[in-house]
Amino acid sequence: MRYPASITFTDELDADAWLAEQRRAIRTGRWVSPEEQPFTVATMPTLSTYADTWITERPIKESTRSHYRALLRNHIDPVLGRRRVDLLDAAAVRSWYSKLDTGTPTARAHAYSLLHAILRTATEDGLLEANPAKIKKAMRTERKRDVVLLGPAEIAKLADAMPQQYRLAVLLASWGGLRWGEVSELRRRDIDGTLIRVRRAVRYQHSKFTVSSTKSFAGRRDVHLPSFLSAEMERHLREHTGPDDDALLFTDEGGQLPHHRFDPIFAKAKRSIGKPDLRFHDLRHSGATLAAQSGYTVKELMERLGHSSPVMAMKYQHAAEERGKELAERLGALAKKPRKSRTTK
């Protein structure tokens, strides 16, 4: 059977190039007959239309879907939205990426990651020969600030500086490596002595709370706290938690505790211990680093922190190794100090 090109070529070289590409596609098994192709030139969707369908069909949380739509609306559509998917090329993607605001590196990386994923599916659907989003390291974002790590004594000082009903939040984030959304959704039924069952997380967005499963499947985990926190847990449950199994550990006027209500309290405490740049999420990093220093393997760190990838766990182990080297050097420095000579009578 003969299949004509979908367009009429005005140049013989262009026609030959098209024919050579079809033959290459047949040899490599990529060729699809017009009857099997989901789109024709006349029905080929714009990137905006294709991306909207892509987001709708993803098996993702509604909060993630909302985030994707915001990225599409604010960062991708204004420049690339009206282009036909099959006409997108590497030059167009590079030009779009160069115009993204470098002052918001996280949003920039997320927007590029979303575009890359959408175009990867378009490639699998046969709309593109190859993914034109191939800018190296564009999906990464460089940390703009250093993480503030606390040692055990500093964690204790910070907890002491907090109001009694919130000091356990600091200890759970630090010694348990819990995220804020996990800490603020903990309920009495999730606590069994010093065992924390992390099953849910809460998100405060658009002036309302949304409770869902953890950030990822790996985030659903059991976290064992050090036994010295046993008394802290018992006191908090006795004095600051309702009797029902569903009672929240940390509340704001009986309801969920939003981050913006907790932040001023936390800010006052961190300033009082001389750590004004500390973020609540840094406590999770502190806990992870302490766990690595105590001997947790990469797999054990992944399970404790709820990570799907070993990358972050390996970073914590590296930080622990560096700390070990530093302490060894301090130890060695003691040997270099001049000793007082002993005098004999």
In degrees and rounded to multiples of 5, residue 161 shows phi and psi of: -80, -10
**Measuring CA to CA, which residue among 20, 92, 81 is closest to residue 45?**
81
Same domain membership, residue 52 and residue 111 = yes
CA quadruple 274, 278, 283, 285: dihedral sign: negative
Domain contains 21: no
Mean pLDDT, rounded, for 268-283? 96
State the virtual CA torsion across 193, 194, 199, 200 in degrees, nearest 10. Answer: 100
Residues 156 and 135 in one domain: no
Q: pLDDT class for 209, splitting at 50, 70, 90? A: confident
Predicted confidence at residue 36, as pLDDT, reads 60
In a domain, 343, yes or no: no
Write the CATH number for 317. Answer: 1.10.443.10
Same domain? 249 vs 276: yes
pLDDT at position 307: 75
For the cut 70, the answer to whether the pLDDT of residue 345 exceeds it is no
DSSP assignment of 239-284 equals HHS-SSTT-BSSEETTEE--HHHHHHHHHHHHHHTT-TT--HHHHH
Across residues 244-266, what is the average pLDDT?
90
Instruction: Using alpha carbons only, give the angle 335, 340, 342 rounded to the nearest 5 degrees.
Output: 125
Helix axes 152-161, 167-176, angle to 10 degrees: 160
Q: Please give the residue that has the higher pLDDT: either 105 or 321.
A: 105
Specify the pLDDT at position 124: 86
Q: Do 257 and 158 share a domain, yes or no?
A: yes
Number of structural domains found in the chain: 2
In a domain, 249, yes or no: yes
On the question of pLDDT at 343 being above 90, the answer is: no
Q: What is the pLDDT of residues 120-161, one digit of tens each?
A: 999 888 888 889 999 988 988 765 667 899 999 999 999 999
Q: Is the pLDDT of residue 227 over 60?
A: yes
User: Final residue of a domain: which of 119, 142, 165?
Assistant: 142
pLDDT of residue 241: 95
Mean pLDDT, range 188-197, rounded to an integer: 94
pLDDT digit string, tens, across residues 14-38? 778 778 777 876 777 666 666 565 5
User: Do 66 and 105 fall into the same domain?
Assistant: yes
Looking at the structure, tell me whether residues 126 and 183 fall in a common domain. Answer: no
Residues 221, 124 share a domain:
no
Q: Do residue 167 and residue 274 come from a single domain?
A: yes
Q: Are 94 and 135 in contact (CB under 8 A)?
A: yes
- Looking at the fold, whether 120 and 261 belong to one and the same domain comes out as no
Predicted local confidence at residue 337, as pLDDT: 60
Same domain, 99 and 206: no
Residue 111 covered by a domain? yes
Tell me whether residue 2 is in a domain: no
pLDDT digits (tens, 9 = 90+) for 70-125: 999 999 999 999 999 988 999 999 999 999 988 888 899 999 999 999 999 998 88
Q: Is residue 233, in this structure, part of any structural domain at all? A: yes
The whole-number pLDDT of residue 32 equals: 62
Quote the crossing angle between the two packed helices 259-272 and 152-161, to the nearest 10°.
Answer: 120
Span 214-243, average pLDDT: 88
Residue that terminates a domain, selected from 142, 167, 194: 142
The number of C-alpha atoms within 13 Å of 45 and in the hemisphere containing its C-beta is 15
Q: How much of the chain, in percent, has pLDDT values that exceed 90?
A: 49
Active-site positions read: 179, 281, 284, 307, 316
Average pLDDT across the chain, whole number: 84
Q: Evaluate if residue 55 carries a pLDDT over 90.
A: yes
pLDDT band at 335 (very low <50, low <70, confident <90, very high): low
Co-location of 165 and 111 in the same domain:
no
> Are 162 and 214 contained in the same domain?
yes
Q: Is residue 14 part of a domain?
A: no
Q: Which of 142, 177, 203 corresponds to the end of one domain?
A: 142
Q: Is 340 inside any structural domain?
A: no
Task: Please report, for the domain that includes residue 116, its CATH number.
Answer: 1.10.150.130
- Burial of 148 per CB tally in 10 Å (0-12, 13-18, 19+): middle
CB atoms within 10 A of CB 293: 17
pLDDT at 42: 57
Give the range of the structural domain holding residue 94, as residue numbers without chain letter. Answer: 39-142
